[in-house]
Structure 1
Amino acid sequence: MKDIERKCLQFVLRYYKPGAWDTQKAIRRFEQKNGIAPKSNRRIYWYSGVAAAILFFIVSGIYLYNMNTNANNDWMRLVADNSVRAYTLPDSTVVTLFPHSFLSYQPAVFAHKKRRVNMSGKIYFVVKRDEKLPFEVDGSFAHVKVLGTCFQVAESSSSAEVCVVSGKVLFTAKDQEEGVILTKGMGAELVYGEKMPSLSTTGTINQTAWATGLFIFDNTPLSTVLKELSDYYHVQLTCDETDKKLSSQFDTDSLDEIINLIENVMDVKIQKR
């Protein structure tokens, strides 16, 4: 008898379909298939009870699984609309979003299982160092992996650029293992469709001035200084004496103040148009 009951349970499990379950039909189908004469109502009720119990555990299991899966799959989305926005992530990493950029992560697993974020646009990262949990950034086709550093990722539909202010990062195409390692002052660009980023030959640190509020010049030719300031403030700065070099830091608050400081320190005259 136990063998028959075991077969019955196996049959119920095999043919169970959500939304189309009828315990009485299932029992009759099992009895017909195995040449068993119909039993008393008591035995039918027993089978029905077993089937109902099995159904309860199956449905409960599916429900709990879905609840757990949904909890783990929920994404937190951080957005910058028309202005720069800064956020602190659960691991104390600070992200500064350029206007119309966004970043998303999974709070249920972030900071203790997987420090991974998705992004679009341009974002400056100051990552909290954790050697056991590397910080990873996914764009639409670029990937960056770090331990702890300050860097910027800027991605458009045609290319992705990474520049490093401090520390070290690995910059690869998405789903690729080989890439380029970038350290302080280095930058690289990945063109959409390519498998390997290429190193950038232009200055990179002051590309993050919008997020840090600071310009950094280290023995920089005055011609380069004026070009970076012109690009940032959308003006044209020129000077007749461009062979001089500048080592200094300036807040981004006032261009006129920066010009006055450079003119006084370097004894030059700067024209602004």
Structure 2
Amino acid sequence: MSRVTARRPTLRISPTGTVRRPDTLAVEEPLEIRTRGESLAVTMRTPGADIDLVHGFLFSEGIITSAEDIVTARYCAGTDENGQNTYNVLDVQLRNPVPVTPRNFLTNSSCGLCGKTALDEVRTRTRYPLPEGVPLLEVDTLAKLPDELRSRQQVFDATGGLHAAGLFTVDGAALAVREDVGRHNAVDKVIGWALREGRLPAHDLVLMVSGRASFELVQKAVMAGVPVLGAVSAPSSLAVDLAADSGLTLVGFLRGASMNVYSSAERLAL
């Protein structure tokens, strides 16, 4: 079994009776990000594309501004009870070292603070203000992105338990799709890919996510200069406020030909 999926025993109950059988599940393991050997952050993620994840996370948090800010990123030695390397600790050497404590991450900076403070935090840290009214995206193209994203969710097909995020061109071509148990991790992975590929700011791309649009997903899109964010499910109120404040086109309940546009509808060609 791969590190992405695992088998666990289960009791299946249905109208036809019960049966005991193994079920395929998405793997969830911690990834500790270290710098100079000291712990910077820990996130629960599905193993895979960890280098992209770290790049995207550190960029979204304003710790790095380019791929060149990471000199090296390598797994630390560490074994489980069977003597196997866990590959769950990445030590990052930064070109410009940062103090590891205390860290005020954007993803949790709103805890205990008002919504205005959270919006101000993003406004002061983003490097890529979004251009007004561009790119122009055909609504018919946007409507196809959920199916395009879903068709590339190979691990979801096996487990039914993963979120996905994808970066698409305005013509609907998929550039990068990543899956993870955490929706924010999936977004960090595609943003990290874009950073390493020299595609930031992503002013000509569309970010599509498989679930809801939370504040932190809008924050990551804004930090990366992504002008359009589409979500299959609902946004939160603070996500809409941040999108409107930043000039990001936020689309929720994107299912088939129907959708709700919550901000900057001028980027969509009806």
- For Structure 1 versus Structure 2, the TM-score category normalised by the shorter chain is under 0.3
Which protein, 1 or 2, shows the higher relative CO under an 8 Å CA cutoff with sep ≥ 6?
2
Q: Which has the larger radius of gyration?
A: 1
- The alignment's TM-score, normalised by the length of structure 2, stands at 0.22
- The alignment's TM-score, normalised by the length of structure 1, stands at 0.21
